[in-house]
Chain A
Amino acid sequence: MALPAYECPMVVVGAGPAGLCAALEAAEAGIRALVMDENERGGGQLYKQIHRFFGSRHHGAGKRGFEIAAEMVEGCERAGVEIRLSSAVLGCFPGGELLVDGPEGVYLLRPQATVLATGAAERCFPFAGWTLPGVMGAGAAQTLLNVHGVLPGKRVLMVGAGNVGLIVAYQLLQAGAEVAGVVEAERGSRGYEVHLQRVRREGVPVYFRHRLLAAEGDEGVEAALVESVDEGRVRRFRVDALCLAVGLVPQAELAAMRGCRIAYADELGGFLPWHDREMRTSVPGVYVAGDAAGVEEASVAMDEGRLAAVAAAEDLGALDGARAAAKRKELLARLEGLRGGPTASHIRRARARLNAG
């Protein structure tokens, strides 16, 4: 089978915050990156985020996710970055070729540098009734709401009180759904307090130390059974949709196919391509950034994307050592700032372990 193959200096897989920032940074160093994304629009998850973002002015903080996404896509256009949408990278071979399925057909890319910015996938867990229509990931609910304008249900139960669960619960309310509650197995929220407060302010009860047992219904979800962990008390919530926000998993498959060493860090979502502080993986010419390198914030993904591009540009000889070092110093300081607070202690711990080997 002879697929057409094309040489190019740099391919970025994923047009989310990490990938787009990597392409922008590469463009500054004079490298024209090709950004591949399986979605129809650029911006990754930002594109469907309607809330204002945390972070600093370097990350578009204070703007809404879709506004930040639009700015980054425009920035790429101005910089001459080509973003190929509806183009899924299906594989990465040990020689470094990428297998792409896009509007042009199926073809191979032979980049000198590859930045994997593939993001994360929603974690799910099996329970009785989880295959009923109406059970979905919180991210899927968000896509329905903010991309397709479809309400996932009239009354929804959210499982998981981390940032994703709390943000999507709020967006369900904004779209006119009722949220019967947010169920969380832990004693408190892993999410930011302000997100929890916003949901509570709208009258949504948050059930800590509770867990989902089952979804009930014939044609679709009609109810959810929830148990209080400490008392063993079981209650039935009458809802027509059930959203799961129980964590994200880095999409590390391409890196694994390529032969990159895979590390494990529970705090960062599980298996991920091992990488150094400069976002180099164990395979020369392969870099990783964003949630694919460990699930964190969009602002972190942006700076990691830039770091990865600096490393790639340096390795390709497009950026001399001194300039690369200066850029890197600034980006690492910014990342240290973003990870500096008490809510990121687990991230710092995992990163220290990762850097140690």
Chain B
Amino acid sequence: MKERKERKESKEREEGKATGEGGRGAARDALQGGRDDPWTAAWEVSRRKAVAVVDCRQEIPCDPCETACRKGAIRVGDDVCALPISEPETCDGCGRCVALCPGMAIYLIDRSADGGKAAVTVPYEMGEEPRAGMEARVVDGEGKELGRGKILEVRAMGGAAATLLVKVEVPETWALKVRGVRLRQMFIEEPEEVEGYRGTGDCLICRCEEIARAEVEKAAGSGFRSLAALRRASRVGLGYCQGRFCREPLREELARKCGRGVEELGIGSPRPPLRPVKISRLGGGDVRDTQF
């Protein structure tokens, strides 16, 4: 496998992400970094024209931005996991990459109008319909509301099931922070504290045969060491669903009780029929002549 410097850095970022804020911190650092980083270049060019900012920071197998761009301004290359590199000078601000990026991680920024304003174009796929002239909540990558912005233009791009591109006017200082517009007010209430929680008691583990978890624990405690034995003893997993709901939880429960790994218990011995089927159908009565 190709060992690229960026890949190593991205790995570090990813590890940072797992423990909290490292990913975003690294991105902010990149933003304030040297002259050759693409964001700085895009920022400069956006003084003159609308230009794509590619906020793709995780090396995942994805490259449609490269073919979306008809100007060849975005390169991923042969390694499908490589981070895209954009050339702001070549970008004509058409917005196809904004519409087609599966991660919705590309934006257009345009600072060519004077007066301390910037126009930012973001992809939009929610149900509420944005229209030019409306006020929208403008949010950053964390979903924090930066404030309100006026929608300047709405376009549809990217095939029959198009993505809407919403161009919103914001203060210039937000230009690189804006990641979305929100039209809906959600009423997310804070969850209430539960004082003195003392557990919920038992629950079913096999819903078809109505067998409680405690019964399974008891059976496992009394020496059953396989799913098959447990099934024979309790009918667990032998109901209508044929264990499709409970097989995995049962295996885990049994493994825990026996002090064994799940893999040691084995997959068991599944037998036909895999799905419920009427005996009359198995009798073969209503089989039409089948051509092969």
A residues engaging B (CB < 8 A)? Answer: 1-4, 6-8, 34, 38, 50-57, 61-64, 66-67, 88-93, 99, 101, 104-107, 121, 123-131, 173-176, 178, 180-181, 187-188, 192-195, 197-198, 200-205, 213-214, 225-227, 233-238, 249, 252-254, 256-257, 262, 264, 266, 270-271, 297, 299, 336-344
- In the assembled complex, the Cα of A123 lies from the Cα of B243 at a distance in Å of 12
Residues on A with beta carbons closer than 8 Å to the beta carbon of B204? 126, 130-131
CB <8 Å contact, A202 and B126: yes
CB <8 Å contact, A61 and B287: no
> How many interface residues does B have (CB within 8 Å)?
93
- With both chains docked as a complex, state the minimum distance between the C-beta of B217 and any C-beta of chain A, in angstroms: 12
Q: Does B192 contact A (CB under 8 A)?
A: yes
CB <8 Å contact, B104 and A198: yes
1/0 per position for B234-247, CB-CB distance to A under 8 A?
00000000001110
Question: Closest residue of chain A to B266, judged by CB?
Answer: A262
Question: Closest residue of chain B to A226, judged by CB?
Answer: B191
CB <8 Å contact, A193 and B57: yes
- In the assembled complex, the Cα of A225 lies from the Cα of B237 at a distance in Å of 27
CB <8 Å contact, B186 and A203: yes
15 A-B pairs besides A105-B288, A253-B270 with CB distance below 8 A are A51-B102, A52-B101, A67-B159, A91-B274, A106-B277, A178-B187, A195-B103, A197-B141, A198-B103, A201-B179, A213-B200, A226-B191, A257-B272, A341-B58, A343-B58
Q: What total count of A-B pairs have CB within 8 Å?
A: 274
Question: Closest residue of chain B to A84, judged by CB?
Answer: B290
CB <8 Å contact, A342 and B275: no
Question: Closest residue of chain A to B67, judged by CB?
Answer: A57
- In the assembled complex, the Cα of A104 lies from the Cα of B290 at a distance in Å of 7
CB <8 Å contact, A201 and B141: yes
- Of A173, A188, A271, which one neighbours B267 at CB under 8 angstroms? A271
Q: Does B17 contact A (CB under 8 A)?
A: yes
If A101-B277, A126-B249 touch, whether A121 touches B244 (CB-CB below 8 Å) is yes
Residues on A with beta carbons closer than 8 Å to the beta carbon of B61? 54-56, 297, 299, 337-341, 344
- Of B64, B79, B270, B284, which one neighbours A106 at CB under 8 angstroms? B284
Q: Which of B7-15, B41-49, B110-118, B166-174 contacts A (4 or more CB under 8 A)?
A: B7-15
Q: Does B125 contact A (CB under 8 A)?
A: yes
CB <8 Å contact, A340 and B80: yes
Q: Does B105 contact A (CB under 8 A)?
A: yes
Residues on B with beta carbons closer than 8 Å to the beta carbon of A1? 282-284
CB <8 Å contact, B263 and A264: yes
- In the assembled complex, the Cα of A91 lies from the Cα of B191 at a distance in Å of 47
CB <8 Å contact, A175 and B127: yes
CB <8 Å contact, B273 and A91: yes
Can you list 15 residue pairs at the A/B interface with Cβ under 8 Å? A34-B292, A51-B102, A107-B287, A107-B290, A125-B252, A128-B201, A128-B202, A174-B126, A174-B127, A197-B141, A297-B61, A338-B81, A340-B2, A341-B60, A341-B81
CB <8 Å contact, A236 and B194: yes
Cβ < 8 Å to A, chain B residues 1-24 = 1-2, 7, 10-11, 14, 17-20, 23
- With both chains docked as a complex, state the minimum distance between the C-beta of B288 and any C-beta of chain A, in angstroms: 5
Residues on A with beta carbons closer than 8 Å to the beta carbon of B18? 187-188
Question: Closest residue of chain B to A3, judged by CB?
Answer: B284
- In the assembled complex, the Cα of A343 lies from the Cα of B252 at a distance in Å of 26
1/0 per position for B163-196, CB-CB distance to A under 8 A?
1000000000000000110100011110111100
Question: Closest residue of chain A to B161, judged by CB?
Answer: A64
